[in-house]
Structure 1
Amino acid sequence: MHTDLPRWVERVISVPRFAPYLGALSGDRLVAWDLYQWNVQVSEAFYGPLHCLEICLRNAEHDQLRNRFGTDDWWRVAPLNMSEAAKVTAAKQKLARKDVRRPSADDVVTELSFGFWVSLLSRKYDRHLWVPALHRAFPYYSGSRESLRDNLQAMVFLRNRIMHHEPIHHRHLAADHVKIYTLLGYVEPQFASWLRAFDRVPEVLARRPEGTRR
């Protein structure tokens, strides 16, 4: 290892986890270390916007579905497929392990994943969820359900990479950032405007280390 690179880096981070950074930079260990550190920083910066997008999506969909089915725990009567029904069951089991004996509908909603809410926009739910209810969750959107779902699914993928500490430096992160705001704007443009006041992503993107841009 290069003498200027901390000797503990590969030992603590692990060789396999550091390898994608080395591979992206033709084995230059010092620049790869700079890229690794920046990847941590930009992942941290994206957490806030992605957090807001997930919260916004789940609450917008939840509001429309409880209106549609006339109950806060709409999943009891909605025609969910086996996959989504299993996710609701898993959310309840997780709450039980937390000793939440009588979970409220809001408790369950909080436990359901970003991916769950995006899955409700799948083609299989066109007739029973999208047409009668979920399209109203996006009052400022006029495109196809499929395009909306695909863009949200891309953000689920980004969120999961960040939460599992995976590299995101290879992505077109500026485009990802724009996409988050576009999706937020479909639900509530004022929420998107509020977020910009403390969003650190543009600042961190501008600090990408020299020699790591592809």
Structure 2
Amino acid sequence: MSTRLPEWMTRDLSLPRLRRYIRAAHGDARAAERLYWWNVEVSAALVGPLHCLELALRNALHGALVRHHGRPDWWEAAPLNERGRQLVESARRSCGRRLRRTTPDDMVAELTLGFWVSLLSTGYDRHFWVPVLNSAFPHYRGPRARLYSDLTSLVLLRNRVMHHEPVHHRHLAADHASIYRVLGYLSPEFAKEAQAMDRFPDVLAARADVVRGVRPPRF
């Protein structure tokens, strides 16, 4: 069992970051190195499904709120809480730094996934879910709380993937199933199309071979 990582890895990726992989590999530095690269590989494989879910979700919620308020900039009229207003203002400033003129479509793209998911939280139940947002999920018949729980977990996954953090310790098969379950609530057609292109199952199945060194990681 090797106990030392390559010098370039500890220099370029930082030892504090790599220690989490060393612990997961029970001190085997070579296995930790391979686990690190598999984490990159599986994160890359999750980007596509998360991309599909995020865009479908924000467009569905936006569309429902536009119809309800009768204006494309519905956030100007909707009863957002203080945190929601702060996120809108942050998106507006970000657009203003890049664009001469900000359109509602620009704002929709700039608002974070966390903002969109927050619209399904308990505090917005009477303002958004009951009168409006339940219609954004035409293939869902369960309670708002369960949907919100699934989405908050996926926000955490999305943020870890996009910020290059470890995800190998998560129940990734369940995460992956949750992505498509929620996407199916929005659009079964989109879910079917995305799954046909999805390489995540193959990457997940190869984890043990990659960590043992039987198959090289690829991304």
TMscore range, shorter length? over 0.9
Counterpart in 2 of 1:16?
16
Does residue 26 of the first structure (1) align with residue 26 of the second (2)? Answer: yes
Cα offset, 1:39, TM superposition: 0.2
On the 8 A contact 2:4/2:29 being kept in 1, the answer is no
> Within 5 Å, which residues of 2 pair with 1:134-173?
134-173=133-172
The TM-score with structure 1 as length reference comes to 0.95
What is the rounded CA distance, in whole Å, between the counterparts of 1:42 and 1:25 in structure 2? 17
Aligned residues: 212
Gaps of 5+ in 2: 213-219
- Aligned-CA RMSD value: 1.7
What residue in structure 1 maps to residue 208 of structure 2?
209
**How far 1:6 moved relative to its partner?**
3.2
| Cα distance in 1 between the residues matched to 2:122 and 2:4 | 54
Q: Give 1:101 deviation, angstroms.
A: 2.5
2:103 is matched with which residue? 104
Measure, in 1, the Cα distance between the counterparts of 2:176 and 2:125.
28
8 Å CA contact 1:21–1:33 kept in 2: the answer is yes
1:2 CA displacement: 4.5
Residue equivalent to 2:215? none
Alignment of 1:114-153 (within 5 A): 114-153=113-152
**Structure 1: 4+ residue segments shifted above 2 A:** 1-7, 209-213
Identical residues among aligned pairs (%): 53
Give the aligned residue type for 1:180.
I
CA distance in 2, matches of 1:5, 1:21: 11
Counterpart of 2:217 in structure 1 is: none
Aligned residues of 1:115 and 1:156 also touching (Cα < 8 A): yes
Amino acid paired to 1:115: G
Query: If the length of structure 2 is used for normalisation, what is the TM-score?
Result: 0.93
